[in-house]
Amino acid sequence: MENWQQIGAMSKPLMTKVRAIRGATTADANTIESMREAVAELLTEIETRNQLDYEEIISVIFTVTSDLDATFPAAIARENPQWENVPLLDLQQMQVRGSLEKCIRVLIYFNTDKPQAEIYHPYLRKARNLRPDWNLTHMIMGNK
Q: What CATH number should be reported for the domain holding residue 92?
A: 3.30.1330.40
> DSSP assignment, residue 121?
-
Is position 10 within any domain?
no
* pLDDT at residue number 123: 94
What digits encode the pLDDT tens for the residues 15-27? 789 999 999 999 9
120 is in an annotated binding site: no
CA distance 85 to 143: 29
Is position 2 within any domain?
no
105 is in an annotated binding site: yes
22 is in an annotated binding site: yes
Is position 4 within any domain?
no
Is position 106 within any domain?
yes
What's the predicted TM-score (pTM) here? Answer: 0.81
Is position 125 within any domain?
yes
Residue 130's domain comprises: 16-140
Is position 11 within any domain?
no
SS3 at position 39:
helix
Burial class (CB in 10 A: 0-12, 13-18, 19+), 141: exposed
Reported as a pLDDT band with limits 50, 70 and 90, residue 129 is confident
Is position 136 within any domain?
yes
Per the structure, the count of domains in the chain is 1
> DSSP assignment, residue 34?
H
Is position 78 within any domain?
yes
